[in-house]
């Protein structure tokens, strides 16, 4: 059973629908015991870093998430919350991943938020098994995680910035893009995660 963590950060329905299409068993929960006993955990979300961290605190989930030993996938704000800190609200985050999360560099003619399809390159690890380098995935975000030599497993470029499209440390994975909105490529990434 896959636990989708409900911490009031939205975007749960599209992740549910993607897992349903893959035939995966899942439940949406904020119960620490259900999260700890799940085979896999997904932390999705769309929202703002400081309020999302506050929700995790209120639900008593910070230590729970950091202690998980099964495969964990953070999506969008879920990945950002796993980083060291975010410039959005100058927020200390979970510190699972080393990079900080920064606002995109403002460049004339480059729109923020970064919204739409973009490529991922430099793909490494089991999450990207069968995914060609340069595949397109779907993004919606104004902040992005820095690169890290050991933890970055996919790279994306937008405007003046090169950043981590995905991160991994041990059993923790994160994608800045939305696999649940990324067509067949995203479906394969979710399938790869479920099979970890």
Burial of 37 per CB tally in 10 Å (0-12, 13-18, 19+): exposed
List, as one string, the DSSP characters of 138-162. Answer: EEEESEEEPP-TTTEEEEEEETTEE
How many CB atoms are closer than 10 A to CB 118?
16
Q: How far apart are CA 183 and CA 73, in angstroms?
A: 18
Q: Across-strand partners of 175?
A: 75, 166
Reading the block at residue 4, the tokens are 């989708």
Give 8's Cβ-side CA count (13 Å radius). Answer: 11
Supply the residues annotated as catalytic.
Answer: 76, 178, 180
Cα distances (Å, whole numbers) of residue 163 to 30, 116, 156: 30, 16, 6
Task: Say how far apart CA 170 and CA 16 lie, in whole Å.
Answer: 25
């Amino acid at each position: 059973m896959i636990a989708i963590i409900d911490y009031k950060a939205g975007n749960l329905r599209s992740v549910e629908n993607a897992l349903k299409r893959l035939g995966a068993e899942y439940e949406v929960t904020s119960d620490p015991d259900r999260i700890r006993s799940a085979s896999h955990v997904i932390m999705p979300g769309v929202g703002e870093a400081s309020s999302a961290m506050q929700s995790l605190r209120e639900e008593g989930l910070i230590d729970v998430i950091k202690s998980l030993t099964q495969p964990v996938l953070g999506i969008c704000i879920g990945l950002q919350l796993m980083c060291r800190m975010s410039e959005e609200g100058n927020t200390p985050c979970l510190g699972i991943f080393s990079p900080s999360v920064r606002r995109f560099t403002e460049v004339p003619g480059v729109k923020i938020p970064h919204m739409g399809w973009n490529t991922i390159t430099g793909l490494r690890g089991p999450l990207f098994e069968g995914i060609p380098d340069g595949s397109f995935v779907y993004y919606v975000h104004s902040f992005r995680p820095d690169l890290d030599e050991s933890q970055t497993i996919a790279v994306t470029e937008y405007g003046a910035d090169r950043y981590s499209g995905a991160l991994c440390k041990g059993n923790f994975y994160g994608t800045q893009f939305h696999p649940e909105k990324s067509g067949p490529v995203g479906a394969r990434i979710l399938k790869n995660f479920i099979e970890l």
